[in-house]
Structure 1
Amino acid sequence: MSPLVRTIISRLLLGGLTLAAVSVIIFSTVSMLPGNFATAILGQSATPETVAAFESHLGLDQPAATRYFKWVGGFLYGDLGESLSSNPGEPRFVADIVSSRLRNTLLLAGVTALIAVPLSIVLGVLSALYRGTTFDRVVNGVSLTTISVPEFFIAYILILFLAVRLRWLPTLSNVNDGMGFVEGVRLMILPVSTLTLGIIAHIMRMTRSAIIGVLASPYIHMAKCKGASPARVILRHALPNAWAPIANVVAVNLAYLVVGVVVVETVFVYPGIGHTMVDAVRTRDIPVVQACALIFASAYILLNLLADIIAISTNPKLLHPR
């Protein structure tokens, strides 16, 4: 077995162990929340018999270990249980609630990635190519500003200027399956812009640093001496050799993007899994909270594993850390 395959398998096993540990933390944290969940849902006027029957129906009277393994086993088979907000005769399954919202979140994150990743790489290359110019200073200044400002503040600034004062866009992004394509795009402009500004600076600055580091190499000077144009030097010689750190930071930011949509979805009332999780916390819907948290953890761990594997694949030195 080659060192690369062996390293990738070890990373995957480590990711599985990490996810198992995270599932224990999620279950324990939610279970230790103060208050009685049955009383919170049924109301303070519910009789002890009603509360006991409700807890028995949901399995809350079982030992914690039994409930944990039942929850994990159901998750592996796609059975996330029933929502606590279900009526006795009309159960609402968590998988049905989460699936449509997860699709909306992946759409939002995917559109953001398609815009942010190419744009940030182009800006990073141009900033490295015109290092020290006014363009470089402006791009770096804007990137430092967006890194320093939290996403919810950026979202409110965009709402203030583009939605409230100029009235170009709606303040809320409550998309649904029945609306047209143009209206859906219009509703997604603000959340996509907020997420793009949040991750573009990290990728752009890493691209700039990686390109500048490669430009000091002897083979770059040789290409310049042979009369290669600046664009050819960057695209043909510098960028392929600087791709390892760029690909790594892109994968890491995509992992952050999937998890970071919680704040943006809440601000714009976007019907994604992040907004669903916040609503479930507010209504104390434990199965929905656990499912959303485990999905976020799984996505974050998998994308970080992807970043690790990309870094190892593009830099053979990492296979032999000694």
Structure 2
Amino acid sequence: MGDVLAIILKRLALGVVTLLVISVLIFSAVEMLPGDVAEAVLGQSATPENVAAMREKLGLDQPAPVRYLSWLSGAVTGDFGVSLTSDERVAEKIGPRLVSTLFLATYAAVIAVPLAIVLGVLVALLRNTVFDRVANVLTLTSISSPEFFLGYILILYLAVKAPLFPAIASLSKDMSLPELLHRTFLPALTMVLVVTAHMMRMTRAAIINLLASPYIEMARLKGAPAWKVIVRHALPNAWAPIINVVALNLAYLITGVVLVEVVFVYPGIGQLLVDAVSKRDFPVVQAVCLIFAATFILLNLAADIGAILTNPRLRHPK
């Protein structure tokens, strides 16, 4: 148990260092953008006195390292500053949008994860059959198609030609859960199509890789049926790579929703990021990018911990 705890603490420390490096990159990238933030906020008709006052208000008259440390110390406590366009606290502005994105990601994950694992087991069980070939073609097509392209195809066939679902995910606070699920089905389905294909192929590859193991051959020689060999013998030992790919795709569901939210005008954090970039609202841009990075790192850490707990060779390294 001590070895496992030491490995987890080491991965956690590495994640903190990685997030610190990413925060430097985010701040530096915003600093290197052309133009003056104060002038962009005030417009072209601003006087030099107004620009100077705005720069002082935003802290732009201070050196970059001082501003970075101030921003980082505030971000650690959840204070990302004030939005330049609405004078609203960035944390308050992001909060409802983040909840909406988490709901959409959870909606897609509840469908995609069990579906991908079941399909992965089936195609491994029926490998080299027509079902396996058709599944490979469909998954490759889904992986190769950009999210916005899949979204527009779904809008064309499920919202325009057959008006089953709304093309725009307009939400309100007084919606019931069934109505909310109905209105957000198309963006969730778009994300499901992308991540299910990847998870299914990785599950299939992990199981087929284990089918050549000696203990699998022994189970077959004992007369165990093919489904039992895969489900009871191969699948438990394939959990480590499956957990890794599931965690990576869950990270994508949260951090890669920008295009999907823009296509369906979904009021999530991805749409907020696009609006903030177009309006040069840099405190919001920095906060959203840092949240995306932290989410990706945390889910990768969860994948590492899951792989360690399900793989004895990782729990007891030589």
What TM-score range do you get, normalising by the shorter chain? Answer: over 0.9
Find the aligned partners of 2:317 and 2:233 in 1 and give their Cα distance.
Answer: 26
- What does residue 132 of structure 2 align with? 136
Which letter maps to 2:127?
R
Q: How far does the alpha carbon of each residue in 1:151-210 deviate from its partner, in whole angstroms, 9 at most, with x for none? A: 111111111111122122111112232223232111111111110111111110111112
Secondary structure of 1:171's partner? coil
> How high is the TM-score relative to the length of structure 2?
0.94
Which letter maps to 2:152?
Y
> How high is the TM-score relative to the length of structure 1?
0.93
- What does residue 258 of structure 1 align with? 254
Find the aligned partners of 1:15 and 1:181 in 2 and give their Cα distance.
Answer: 36
Find the aligned partners of 1:77 and 1:210 in 2 and give their Cα distance.
Answer: 41
Structure 2 gap ranges (5+) = none
- 1:167 corresponds, among 140, 163, 168, to 163
Find the aligned partners of 1:318 and 1:220 in 2 and give their Cα distance.
Answer: 21
Q: Percentage identity across aligned positions?
A: 59
Note if contact 2:40-2:280 (Cα within 8 Å) is conserved in structure 1.
Answer: yes
Which letter maps to 1:36?
D
Note if contact 2:97-2:268 (Cα within 8 Å) is conserved in structure 1.
Answer: yes
**1:125 to 2:121 alignment:** yes
- What does residue 180 of structure 1 align with? 176
Which letter maps to 1:80?
F
**1:74 to 2:74 alignment:** yes
- What does residue 248 of structure 1 align with? 244
- What does residue 276 of structure 1 align with? 272
Aligned residues: 318
- What does residue 304 of structure 1 align with? 300
The range that moved more, 93-102 or 171-180, is: 171-180
**1:289 to 2:285 alignment:** yes
Q: By how many angstroms is 1:320 displaced?
A: 7.4
Secondary structure of 1:284's partner? coil
Q: By how many angstroms is 1:15 displaced?
A: 0.7
Superposed, which structure 2 residues align to 1:34-53 within 5 Å? 34-53=34-53
Structure 1 gap ranges (5+) = none
**1:238 to 2:238 alignment:** no
- 1:108 corresponds, among 104, 108, 111, to 104
Secondary structure of 1:132's partner? coil
Cα 1:320–1:224 shift into 2, 3 Å: closer
Secondary structure of 2:266's partner? coil
Q: By how many angstroms is 1:318 displaced?
A: 4.2
Find the aligned partners of 1:119 and 1:286 in 2 and give their Cα distance.
Answer: 39
Which letter maps to 1:19?
L
Secondary structure of 1:176's partner? coil
Provide the aligned C-alpha RMSD in A: 1.7
Q: How far does the alpha carbon of each residue in 1:79-110 deviate from its partner, in whole angstroms, 9 at most, with x for none? A: 11111013xxxx41101100110001111111
Q: How far does the alpha carbon of each residue in 1:1-32 deviate from its partner, in whole angstroms, 9 at most, with x for none? A: 83322222111111111100100110111121
Q: By how many angstroms is 1:111 displaced?
A: 1.2
- 2:147 corresponds, among 141, 146, 151, to 151
Find the aligned partners of 1:159 and 1:184 in 2 and give their Cα distance.
Answer: 17
- What does residue 97 of structure 1 align with? 93
Which letter maps to 1:285?
D
Find the aligned partners of 2:184 and 2:226 in 1 and give their Cα distance.
Answer: 37
Secondary structure of 2:184's partner? helix
Find the aligned partners of 2:172 and 2:76 in 1 and give their Cα distance.
Answer: 29
Q: By how many angstroms is 1:255 displaced?
A: 1.6
Find the aligned partners of 2:21 and 2:38 in 1 and give their Cα distance.
Answer: 27
Which letter maps to 2:153?
I
Find the aligned partners of 1:50 and 1:179 in 2 and give their Cα distance.
Answer: 45
Find the aligned partners of 1:132 and 1:187 in 2 and give their Cα distance.
Answer: 39
Find the aligned partners of 1:2 and 1:256 in 2 and give their Cα distance.
Answer: 32
Which letter maps to 1:130?
L
